[in-house]
Structure 1
Amino acid sequence: MATQKEEEQGHKGAKHEGGGFWHLFGRAALSVVLGIVLAFLLPTRFGEEMGAQTMARYAAPFSGYLFDREREKAVDKEQSDWHGKSITVLVIDAEVLAACKEGWPAHYPFYSWLLGYLNKFPPKGVFIDVILSQSKGQDAAKPKKPNKPECIDETVKPGPHKTLEDSDFNDFKNGVMRLTSHGIPVFLAARRTTENTLTTNPDLDSDHDLKNLRRVGIEFSAHSVDRLAWTYPLVYPKDESASKQTQSTEQTAHAMPEQPGTSEGDCPRSAAFAIFKDVYSGKLDVPCDRAAFMSVTWPLDTAAYGLRWRESMDEEREERHGFWPRVDSGDDDEEMYCTSSEDQIRLLLRAEARAFLRPLSRPLCVHYRTIHASRLPKQMGDGLNVGAPKDTELSDPELSDAFRGRFVMIGTSFAYSNDLVLSPLQDRIPGVFLHAAALDNLLSDHSDLEDVEAWELKFKMPVTRWVKILLLGGIGFIGFFIIVSIKKKVRKVFAEFHHERTHWRKRFHPHWWVAKSITASFNIALLAISLAVLVSFGVAMILLGAGMHVPFLVVAHILACAIAVEWLEWSEHLFNWITDSKEK
């Protein structure tokens, strides 16, 4: 009787076993809820987690692949329209400076030489991603002949807009004005002052003709955790200029009070956004009462004529060359810093392999056609070049195809400079390619800020954003429910398999050790497989979020938190504690 009574009391005090379906339902729902809650709390307390950045890197190749596919469909429908949206990058490399016996920063005659090619093959527009900080060097009124770089052809007869007696500065000015006189807009990279105006240098800003050129902002801040270029600024409001101002007092002393795009009710625009509005008449409206950033999707496809960098002799190269297997073998030029292919699926696999483990592959080559200034013919005639060009030089037909009717961005291409950005696909590349990628994103039929803005999770958000987050949360719940159910089924099958082998229960018997080893292997395998499945599901959710115009870092952060909760099974333990139950 006493034993029976104790058993009854014991059963009354024991935790009841939860129903299978409702236990799984509550566990999956708790994983999603905890993921959203932690995504709100962690950024404000601990900063962005590396888990979210890792998820975003895994999704970046797929986002680039889908971006390219959508563009291909648009190009097929409107072939002529998309020709004008093509971007060519003209990079100033160390080789051309050496050939011209120029230092850095280069002098005005060097830029006059570059602009000569653009005047010969008129582009749709020009952006000079170099802050021209040098002074005139001499007064324009003096007829003294300036020192010309050796890459300039002294035998060329002066055209209608230039004389050999002009100063270096006037030579450059004439080259710019010749472009603008033919309706070709020219954009100059500029610095922001404490008054939130954009300036280049006193000579350019005080010149009556050149002061009307559009100055554009090039300030950019990489992500604080992985330093990758995930976002791009659109406008620079005045109320944030003081905290971000890093320019010297010498530059701010010559600030012009009036600059294009900084009138009342307006504010400085970034390079890509200004080009999108002024050249392509973009309808995207961005208020200037706060800083606005866009999410950047880096295209996956590689250019046939891209950045001609050689592989650096660094630690990563040594690690990669001693690593097997590699997925980027078989390229025509194994000495290139990057890998390229005409097969986008192959590029997708290589980019994904590198995101998983860097030594598996080199970064992808750049997406935009790149012309190195060192490959321009040193002496430019009025007509076609006489004779065959050198092997390293481009012919007039090639230059015409690269420049004419396309938007040209001029930047630097020095392997070791401060004008470099980190792309999730191309790794370290010149900063001018970030402006190209941002403009490319804006040209993809975006007419609403909600389509491109890189916003963060906040309790005070528009209803539309809450609806998107909750909808993604509902879809995420279904996915977690399925994953949790499969994990439970697999564990149940293994438990039955283990229970049937009664000879495994005798302690310290050889069979007991075998059972322990099999159980440990099963748990490790289940942990690894479940992580892979959760990460794959997370990548799919990021791509779905991108289709709903939810910034990928927002989705990645929620998923990173939710996956951590589910993978470590915190949700199961917490749900059991809340309901005072245990899973069957």
Structure 2
Amino acid sequence: MHMHSTIKKLAQSTWKSFEQAMHVGDIARERRRLTFSVFIWSFLILSVLSITMLWLGDKLNASGMVVTRFLAGAQAPVTSQYGYPAAAREQITVVMYDQEFLNSNGSAWPISYQDHADWLLRLAGDPAARPKAILLDISFGQDRVDATLPILKQALCTVQNEYKVPVFLAALPSAKDGKLAVRSGLAAAGESACFTLVGVDYVADPLDGLAWGYQLTRHRTEAGWQPGPADAPAQPSYRSAAMAMAQDVAKIELGEETVPMALVWGNNSAPQNERPDRLKSCTPGERQLYKLIPGVLRQVWESAPAQPLCPYHRTLSMAQLGQLSEQELAPYLAGRYVMVGANIPGYNDFVDSPIHRLLPGVYLHAMALDNFLTYKDGYKLSAEWTIPPSLALLLPGALTIFAVLLVHLAWTLMLHKFFRTTRFHRWRRQRLRSALSRRMSMHAIAVLAWIVRLTLQSIAAMAMIAFLQHFFRIGMLPVVELIGMTLLAEGLGYMSKLRIFIFGEEVRVRPVLSSQV
């Protein structure tokens, strides 16, 4: 009998807390303090509602709504400036075939295989400035008439087998068997390997076209190419450039692959004196506290930079390999991962970065390798919301909703405490009875308060995202989507609508909080 009474009291107390939680979003009518049980109920209700909305968005192919991509674009520079370590940045150098190179050599694109061979040997020939590994993000996939092809083949073998510098060569899958392939005559069956073929294709975000993720491996099925390792040994598959270099050269054990990498782009560009001509006027990427202010507000006074942001990694023009001395080149090449790409007019190999916007595609692989060197097997995961959420998203998701709700409640309590003062009500009555100009000033102050609240909440949200990305294997898009959906649920008055849905009418209970949340 006693146990039955205890269970009944517990059920009544729980139901009362649930009813009171339904009024957390009411306009300033509550006069009692917020209890722990009511807060927990509010947190649980908001969590279920937010994650359900995200799950439904996935089912409707709308999980990446424009608002979440906008928030992610504003967040990316903050995480890049304050949450991404720069230690691995010094291990990577990008070398570019560009207009400066063509002009200095009187060449046209594509250059001959002989030229490729000469510059490759120049890149790796000096023992005091020998790279750790080389990626050639130049796909030699199409046959063309050039009698110097054997010279390029010999140069590749010299670099890998004599200089002991691993060479990774960009390739595309063959339409015939799905295997990565290069043009005939560059690799023959039975010969010792002179390079490792790697995939360099770029899968852009389907909504905004930005490079939020990076494919690690891909395999071919009846439905086409899919992300992830092959399901059977005979199934065509291949590794990405950054993954192959991380595994084969850096010897990083990446563990079992479940989803693609959620790519974290760096912002704080490496200092460099000998920049190529096209980057001599670029804007250095560096920490700037004002970037914590939401982008929609910064646009009021901030104009777009006159010059593009400098790349995160040190960059040389291939022309500089013939202009700089071996001593000057050593800090860029010795013991570095050297990524060779092209930025030639008409050569359409670009990637859209959320930090730098359009960049030559080789920077995508450089940034992905940087992520591997930085996070090792803890690289960020490009996971999606499900019901129930995956373990990778459950804890950071709960912390995100908890922080949003806590900041919102704290702000509301602070404002309500101020607005309930006698001095404020006296000032408000005077303004309402005064001339139009004074009434307008009162409304201007209200707008300013709204802007301050938006700014503080946005800063808190950005700090939370940077914190979660630093300590958890969570990508930016999932947590930004969750914050956006949580704020949307609050903005739509989720508690009031849910209360009406459950009870059918306003339920009169003792209020718990003196403001609108």
TM-score, normalised to structure 2, is 0.78
Q: Cα–Cα, structure 1 residues 480 and 265, in superposed 2: closer, same or farther, change >3 Å?
A: farther
1:169 equivalent in structure 2: 149
For residue 269 of structure 1, the aligned residue among 233, 239, 242 is 239
Q: Provide the C-alpha distance between the structure 2 equivalents of 1:572 and 1:491, rounded to a whole number of angstroms.
A: 23
Q: Provide the C-alpha distance between the structure 2 equivalents of 1:278 and 1:128, rounded to a whole number of angstroms.
A: 16
User: Are the counterparts in 2 of residues 545 and 552 from structure 1 also a CA contact under 8 Å?
Assistant: no
Instruction: Give 4+ residue runs of structure 1 displaced > 6 Å after superposition.
Output: 26-29, 350-355
Q: Provide the C-alpha distance between the structure 2 equivalents of 1:33 and 1:169, rounded to a whole number of angstroms.
A: 62
Query: What is the letter of the counterpart of residue 371 of structure 1?
Result: L
Q: Cα–Cα, structure 1 residues 307 and 299, in superposed 2: closer, same or farther, change >3 Å?
A: farther
Q: Cα–Cα, structure 1 residues 521 and 184, in superposed 2: closer, same or farther, change >3 Å?
A: same
For residue 497 of structure 1, the aligned residue among 419, 424, 447 is 424
Q: Provide the C-alpha distance between the structure 1 equivalents of 2:42 and 2:388, rounded to a whole number of angstroms.
A: 28
User: Are the counterparts in 1 of residues 77 and 291 from structure 2 also a CA contact under 8 Å?
Assistant: no
User: Are the counterparts in 2 of residues 204 and 210 from structure 1 also a CA contact under 8 Å?
Assistant: no
1:114 equivalent in structure 2: 119
Relative to structure 2, which stretch is displaced further, 410-419 or 302-311?
302-311
Query: What is the letter of the counterpart of residue 167 of structure 2?
Result: V
Q: Provide the C-alpha distance between the structure 1 equivalents of 2:444 and 2:30, rounded to a whole number of angstroms.
A: 28
2:266 equivalent in structure 1: 299
Q: Cα–Cα, structure 1 residues 503 and 419, in superposed 2: closer, same or farther, change >3 Å?
A: closer
Deviation at 1:558, TM superposition (A): 0.8
Number of paired residues? Answer: 464
Q: Does residue 52 of structure 1 match 2:61?
A: no
> After superposition, where does 1:104-503 map in structure 2 within 5 Å?
104-121=109-126, 122-135=130-143, 137=145, 167-182=147-162, 183-194=164-175, 195-206=177-188, 208-209=190-191, 213-239=195-221, 242=224, 264=234, 267-287=237-257, 292-305=259-272, 308=276, 310=278, 336=281, 338-340=282-284, 344-346=286-288, 349=290, 356-357=298-299, 359-361=303-305, 362-377=307-322, 393-414=323-344, 417-448=347-378, 451-463=379-391, 465-493=393-421, 497-498=424-425
User: Are the counterparts in 1 of residues 100 and 277 from structure 2 also a CA contact under 8 Å?
Assistant: no
Q: Provide the C-alpha distance between the structure 2 equivalents of 1:117 and 1:351, rounded to a whole number of angstroms.
A: 44
Q: Provide the C-alpha distance between the structure 1 equivalents of 2:225 and 2:384, rounded to a whole number of angstroms.
A: 20
For residue 453 of structure 2, the aligned residue among 522, 525, 530 is 530
Q: Cα–Cα, structure 1 residues 243 and 171, in superposed 2: closer, same or farther, change >3 Å?
A: closer
What is the Cα-based RMSD across aligned positions, in Å? 3.7
What stretches of structure 1 of length at least 5 have no aligned partner? 1-14, 73-81, 139-166, 246-261, 312-332, 378-392
Q: Does residue 556 of structure 1 match 2:480?
A: yes
1:345-389 deviation per Cα after TM superposition (whole angstroms, max 9, x unaligned): 34x656978784372435431121211012232xxxxxxxxxxxx
Q: Cα–Cα, structure 1 residues 197 and 307, in superposed 2: closer, same or farther, change >3 Å?
A: farther
User: Are the counterparts in 2 of residues 130 and 189 from structure 1 also a CA contact under 8 Å?
Assistant: yes
Q: Cα–Cα, structure 1 residues 513 and 67, in superposed 2: closer, same or farther, change >3 Å?
A: closer
% identical equivalent positions: 22
User: Are the counterparts in 2 of residues 455 and 551 from structure 1 also a CA contact under 8 Å?
Assistant: yes
2:12 equivalent in structure 1: none
Larger Rg: 1
TM-score, normalised to structure 1, is 0.70
Deviation at 1:548, TM superposition (A): 1.8
What stretches of structure 2 of length at least 5 have no aligned partner? 1-26
User: Are the counterparts in 2 of residues 91 and 412 from structure 1 also a CA contact under 8 Å?
Assistant: yes
Helix, strand or coil at the partner of 1:444:
helix
Query: What is the letter of the counterpart of residue 270 of structure 1?
Result: S
Helix, strand or coil at the partner of 2:186:
helix
1:18-56 deviation per Cα after TM superposition (whole angstroms, max 9, x unaligned): 454459947676555543332222343234123222322
User: Are the counterparts in 2 of residues 296 and 438 from structure 1 also a CA contact under 8 Å?
Assistant: yes
1:306-334 deviation per Cα after TM superposition (whole angstroms, max 9, x unaligned): 764649xxxxxxxxxxxxxxxxxxxxx6x
Deviation at 1:176, TM superposition (A): 0.7
Q: Cα–Cα, structure 1 residues 364 and 505, in superposed 2: closer, same or farther, change >3 Å?
A: closer
Query: What is the letter of the counterpart of residue 93 of structure 2?
Result: T
Helix, strand or coil at the partner of 1:191:
strand
Relative to structure 2, which stretch is displaced further, 120-129 or 235-244?
235-244
Q: Provide the C-alpha distance between the structure 2 equivalents of 1:181 and 1:109, rounded to a whole number of angstroms.
A: 19
1:385 equivalent in structure 2: none
